[in-house]
Every structure is written in C-alpha cells, then in structure tokens.
Amino acid sequence: MKQRLIVIGNGMVGHHFVEQWLANEASADYQLTVFGAERHSAYDRVHLSEYFAKDAEHLRLGDADFYQQSAIDLHLDEAVTSIDPDARKVTTDQGEYAYDKLVLATGSYPFVPPIPGGDQAHCLVYRTLDDLDAIQASAKDMKTGVVIGGGLLGLEAANALKSLGLDVHVVEFAPRLMPVQLDDEAGAMLRSKIESLGVSVHTDTATQQIIAGDAARMKMCFANETELETDLIVFSAGIRPQDALGREAGLTLGERGGIDVDQYCRTSNPDIYAIGECAVWNGRHFGLVAPGYTMARAAVSHLSADGRVHFQGADMSTKLKLLGVDVGSIGDAHGHTPGCQSYRYTDERTGVYRRLVVSEDGKRLLGAILIGDNQHYDPLLQLALNDMPLPEQPEGLILPASEGGLPAAGSAELPMTATICSCHNVSKGDICESMNDGAVSVADLKASTKAATGCGGCAAMLKTVLDAELEKRGVQVDHSLCAHFSHTRQELFHLIRVEQIKSFTELLHKHGSGGGCEICKPAVASMLASCWNEHVHTPELVPLQDTNDTFMANMQKDGTYSVVPRIPGGEITPKMLITLGEVGDKYKLYTKVTGGQRIDLFGATLDELPLIWEELIAAGFETGHAYGKSLRTVKSCVGSTWCRFGVKDSVGTAIDIENRYKGLRTPHKVKMAVSGCTRECAEAQSKDIGVIATENGWNLYVCGNGGMKPRHADLFATDLDDETLVRYIDRILMFYVYTADRLQRTSVWMENLDGGLDYLRQVVIDDSLGLAAELEARMQHVVDSYRCEWKEAVEDPDKRKRFRSFVNSDEPGRARIVQVVERGQLIPARELAVEEAS
C-alpha cells in the first residue's frame, strides 16, 4: 500500500517540490495530495506585475493538466485549517485527510501595519492574483494610488498602480528606499530616478491614521503633520511567515516567527517538513524564490532517503528592474564586514551609482550595489560567490571603459562549481555535462537543466558560458547571417555601405555563395533600403521581399490584406477621418483604432489595394509602413496644446519626429512616443525611442519595448533642446542600423553592446568612435530621399500590374472571400461558416 504524502501550499516553492518529487524514484511509493488555498494553480509570483498586461494563464507554472497527468490529487480553493500531528491528519473546510509525511509550503502573508483606518475598503495588499483583481477594480476611474512600503515588493506594487494609469505615491517609514538592500547614496539615486518617472516618493514618513478624504476616497495623516489624499492604498510593508498551522500544531518556531527547520528542512516533528517563506533556518528567513527551491530539493532528498542535498543558507543577492530602473545588490552590500573597504562610482547625469565592497586586503569581493545599470551584475556576482581573486585595482570593475574600467572575469575563469542559475541550482559543471550529452544551444540547456527558466536573470550568463565552452571545445560559434553569407549582418551592412553595393546579386557575387534564402534575402533587402532607400518594387529588389513587403500590406489569415495609412502623432483632421470612413464603407473593410494612434483597415483584396490607396493619397494620407521593419508610429498625448498639465507641445514634436524618420528601414520594427509632461500619458518609456517633456527641455529614453518580453526604456539624456534631441535620435537610430543583428530589437541590441548604455552614450554624446557626422549624414540621406511607396506604386502602370488577385484572370478577389458579420463589421469566416458556405 502506498504511503500518503500531503503538501500544503501550491505556490512557486510548493510546485517546485512537486516537480522535484516526481523526478525521484521514491515518488512511486507515495500517493501525493496537494492543497492550495487559492483558486488558481501554481503561478509565477516573481513576475506578478505582468498580470495587468497579460493574464493568469501567462503566469501559470507547468501545463494546465500537469497535476492530472501526474496522478496528483490537487485541491484548489481548499484551505487547510488545522493539523493533528498525533493522528497524522489535516483538516480543511471540506473534510479530513490522513498523511504519513507532510510538507508545509504555506509561504508568507503581507504585513499590514496597525494604522487606524487601515482596514477600510480600498485599503488592499499586493500578494496574489486575487489581490491584483481587487486593486484593478478599486483603481477603475480613479486618479491616485499610494503604496505603503518602499522595499522590493512596494516598488513592484507601485509599478502595478502606475500601469493602471494612477498618479502613484510611495510612502516609506525608513529614511531611504529599499533600506535592506541599498545604502544612503544608492537609495537617493533610486529615488531620483523613480521620481523622474512621475512617482512621488515620501521617505522617513510614518502614517498615523487614515480618514475619509475631501477630494478623494481617503486622507492619510502623517506623523510630520502633513496629509495626502488618495483613492486607494496598497500595503506592501514587508511579509511575515505563514506559520499559523505550525504554531497550532505545536511545532517549534523561530524567535521572530517562522517554522524552525534543520538542514533537511525537517521541523521539530520528524514527519513534517517546512520549505520556503514559512520556514526559518538558523534563525534566518529567506524571502526569495531561489532559497525556497533549494529547501524543496533538500526536503525531497531526505524524504527519498537520499540525504545528499542539504540546506545551508542561501545567497540573497538580487537583480531586478523596478519601475524600469536597474537595481542590483550583492552580498555584503552595506560593508558590515570588519576591515572591509568600499569603492564608489556616481554619475548623477545618467543616474548611475555603483558601490564595490572588498576585503581588507583588497583581494576578495564581498558585496556590491548597482543602480541604473545592471550590466556589471553577473560577473560581479560570480566573483563574490566563487571567492575569485580581484585585479590589483578593483575599482576598475565599476568604472566606465573611458575612465579605466576593467572587464570582470569571463566565464572561462569560473570554476565548475560556480552557480549559474540560483533558482534551479545549476552550476557551470552541470551546463558542461549537459553539453557533453549533446546540448548545443540555450534552448537545449533550458530543456535539460532548467537554467534560466525561473526568474530568468541568468539568461545572459548562460549564453556566455555556452559560447565560451563551445569555443573551448573547438566548436566555432557561428554568427553568420545564413548558409549563403559567412558574415554577420553588421559585416554585410558595412560591405554594402563601403563598397556601394546596390543589389543582392552583386553582394552575393562578391561576398556570398549559392542562390540565397528566406533569411538572407529580406535581410539584405532591408540593408539596401537603409543605405540607398530605393523603392521596394525596383526590379532587382522585388525577388528579395517577403509577401508583406512585396504587396506593401500585411496579409491576413483569410488571404486579404490590411491598409494602414500613416497618421503622424495621432493627429488627424475631421475631413481625413471622413475619408477613412468612406473608404472603409465602400470596400467593406473592418476598421479598428490601434494602440499606436492609427486606424487599421482590414479585409482588402489584392486588386483593391491600389484603388483604396488612390483615394487615401488623394485625401493626403501616406503609407504607414505597417508591413516593413521600419518606424511604425510616434504616439503622443495632447501636450501643452490642450492639457492643463502639459509643459511642451508633444503633438507637434511627435509629428516632426514621425515625418523625419518615416520610411527608415531598420533591423526590427521601431516605435516611438512623445509625452508632454512626466505624467507620461503617451507611454514613452515602453518604446524604442521615448521623449518626455520637462520644464527645461526633453528627456530622452532609449531601447524599451512591449511585446512578449516587455522592457522599460533607459534614461539616455536629460533636458535636451529640440535640435540636440533630433541629433541624438539620428545617431542612435543609424548606429542601431549599422550594428544590430537581423531582427534584433533595440533593447536586445543595447544589452549586447559591450558596455551597454554607457557605451552607447559615449558613441552618441561623446562621439568616441568619430562616427557622429557620418551617422547624421546617413540619416539625412534617408530623410531627403523619402518617397511614399504607395504613391509611386499607384502612379506607375508597371508597378500596378503586380496587384492582381489571380495571375491569369481579372476576376475580383472579393468574389472568393468568405466573411461573416460580427458587431456590425465583416470579419473572416470561422471554419464552420466556411464549411457551410462551401
């Protein structure tokens, strides 16, 4: 008869325990039952703030049927109310369940300070998906939100409120933000950067009571006799171990709470284990996911009578992005070790602060703090974790290259015991062993070792180790564009530009082989367009284009095409709006307003495209280049023209910028935005190029993006005048065109630059490569040679011949399109409708 193992808690750590348990041979002797107090199965709490932009399914850990397929008895929305260690049973509100072994993975709960009035409606916490649902509902149609707590979770909660469009305040009792991880200087730098993003910060501030507000729902009364009105409050003032079940069951607790465990995560009862945030080991709590995972592995090891895995504490270093600001803290960041020495580097202009804490003899790295730039985090962490010797001048590890900065130890110097992925305890040796078994890519290593599948912070280091080990084994790390060109995209672009190559055939003859493929042809077409800006229907360019570029429209699922005219800055006259409506109605097109302040028209057949564009061009529209890897939109708010908060003309600037860079072909699509004040209604910090007005000029943000892997843009320069703003954007975009890989977004491009943001500033602002004049001249050539591709196409009889739905017939394409009506518009027919129609 199988023994009965119960796990109480279905969070990240509880789920990891289940995964590790199923991989162990001992699991065959047990029937596993899991209780989760929430209605959701295990989900990723590390990326909880992404819930508002995506959904719960995106955060789910494992497949939807993971527990069912593994024959696990999963009880969701069923909280365990008590444990009887003597009878070996647990009780829920739905019944009693016997166990032979029990694992507590109950996690923690948010600490809510005992503030009078803090228990009223719209005083919320930030911990679960249900909490986020409550926050979202409370924020609807509201203006202001406050987070009490300026630590890691507090700033994450602030980011969530900001994403809901609220004016956000952070109230912190301590004299600085993130007091556990940061020193005074780092806290001040972080505060400055966060306030520049439009979040108000109140440090050294204690809330005495919360009463009814005058102009908002509530009023916060502070000990310093100031007040703040707000519509909702989120408490994020720390966490406490969820140890109530252990306390009532008579288990030994730590001095400050938490269930006391040994190195195997056994509690004072030998049949009960505790893992994650509910546990305390050697008097310490561990509030990160990686230590919880290690605890889970230790418990599995002991339960299976293996005993080889012990929990012996954990590194609490952290690397994350809070409100778009890089923050890193390693080891003894505060310099508490006797005799230690500190080195500091501060750049107030760019908002970068770095602190290095080294041993008294200067030979070992003890800790570090990074604000505004985490490119040094991974190599510094490895130096600290592996007790590796420092260079004679350790301060060089945090200095920019232009000021004598030194590269940290590379992956080749790391010992095999070096931990690359803390979440899943994957060492360099594990990676090498997986490569011995045939892994040759990051995807292979993720699948075989699970490295970089937890918080994801080690992905860059994983790739570095992989490439170094491949080269060490004599395997050439091939960065060729494809089999037909043994050059990178950057190298090919350089050859095209320097040798004045104007066609794919010429480039292939001089520097390639074979006939080309679907990888190199469109890539070379983009490079040729970036350099010479000739029409995509030029005879030698046509064979290179994919379908969308060939027909200058995006093909849809039913074979029709989209029509997307450019609306610079989102500004459009009523007469032009009427034209769009008339065209949409005439050709029975589905119309939709986009998030980029344009109007998309869907459902045009190939033969209708020139006819539609004739009418749009006559009304003053141009191609919106939605089909190309190029500038898409420059989003704007109404700025100082209409808004009472606007300080500059964001619409006018957005129009000028969009008209300047329209048609520029780039390695990946590019989006921009201009906000008229720091309230940031145009969402400029989620764009490749973001511009935000200040009282003194424009702040320029670079290399952000939305999509599958959202990234906040980094602050590049502040208080720029109009001329300098355009000059910097010219240089950044053209340098991106010069050096990026094929289909590489600006965010990934900058992260891969040797030196990252600092290096980009040196190239663009300081002209360290002497390229500034050339980059500006190349951009001016693109601007001067711009032509609306659709205008040329409809005016050229030869180009119009391309737009026939059927090669051997003039029959209209619409005759063979099957569509249905939904919400008053035509959409592609679903499969059932197609079958009935046929």
Residue 827 is predicted with a pLDDT of 82
Query: Residue 408 pLDDT > 70, yes or no?
Result: no
Mean pLDDT of the chain: 88
Query: Residue 192 pLDDT > 70, yes or no?
Result: yes
Query: Residue 834 pLDDT > 50, yes or no?
Result: no
Split at pLDDT 50, 70, 90, the class of 403 is low
Domains of the chain: 3-109+241-303 (3.50.50.60), 123-237 (3.50.50.60), 315-409 (3.30.390.30), 410-477 (1.10.10.1100), 489-545 (no CATH), 546-623+788-838 (3.30.70), 630-784 (3.30.413.10)
Q: Average pLDDT in the 94-123 region?
A: 94
Q: Residue 517, annotated ligand binder?
A: no
Q: Where are the alpha helices (DSSP H) in 23-70?
A: 56-59, 66-69
Q: Residue 637, annotated ligand binder?
A: yes
Paired tokens of 653: 């600037």
Q: Select the more confidently predicted residue: 401 or 260.
A: 260
- Report angle CA 614, 619, 625 to the nearest 5 degrees: 65
- The CA-atom distances, in angstroms, between 748 and each of 204, 446, 709 are 38, 19, 10
Split at pLDDT 50, 70, 90, the class of 41 is very high
Paired tokens of 292: 């919880």
Torsion of CA 66, 67, 68, 69, to 10 degrees: 50
> Per residue in 520-543, pLDDT tens?
888 898 899 888 888 888 888 878
Q: Residue 423, annotated ligand binder?
A: no
Q: Which long-range contacts (CB under 8 A, 24 or more apart) does 251-258 make?
A: 251/85, 253/280, 254/280, 254/283, 254/285, 255/283, 256/280, 256/285, 258/285
Query: Residue 490 pLDDT > 70, yes or no?
Result: yes
363 in Cβ contact with 391 (< 8 Å): no
Split at pLDDT 50, 70, 90, the class of 402 is low
Q: Select the more confidently predicted residue: 656 or 435.
A: 656
Q: Residue 265, annotated ligand binder?
A: no
Residue 657 is predicted with a pLDDT of 96
Query: Residue 297 pLDDT > 70, yes or no?
Result: yes
Residue 837 is predicted with a pLDDT of 34
> Per residue in 575-625, pLDDT tens?
999 999 999 999 999 999 988 889 999 999 888 999 999 999 999 999 999
Residue 438 is predicted with a pLDDT of 83
> Per residue in 694-741, pLDDT tens?
999 999 999 998 876 678 899 999 999 999 999 999 999 999 999 998
Q: Average pLDDT in the 297-303 region?
A: 93
Q: Average pLDDT in the 401-423 region?
A: 69
Query: Residue 483 pLDDT > 60, yes or no?
Result: yes
Radius of gyration of the chain measured on its C-alpha atoms = 30
> Per residue in 345-356, pLDDT tens?
988 777 789 999
Q: Average pLDDT in the 247-272 region?
A: 95
If you average pLDDT over each of 183-197, 266-280, 344-358, 366-380, which comes out highest? 266-280
346 in Cβ contact with 352 (< 8 Å): yes
Write the DSSP assignment of 388-408 as a string of letters: PPPPSSGGGGTS-GGGT--PP
Q: Average pLDDT in the 254-272 region?
A: 95
Paired tokens of 394: 């350790």
Residue 832 is predicted with a pLDDT of 37
Cα separation, 321 vs 50, whole angstroms = 13
Query: Residue 836 pLDDT > 50, yes or no?
Result: no
Chain-centroid distance of CA 836 in Å reads: 44
Cα separation, 671 vs 652, whole angstroms = 17
Residue 439 is predicted with a pLDDT of 83
> Per residue in 205-228, pLDDT tens?
999 999 999 999 999 999 999 999
Cα separation, 298 vs 524, whole angstroms = 53
If you average pLDDT over each of 194-203, 346-355, 569-578, which comes out highest? 569-578
Beta bridge partners of 97: 90
Cα separation, 88 vs 272, whole angstroms = 10
Residue 194 is predicted with a pLDDT of 87
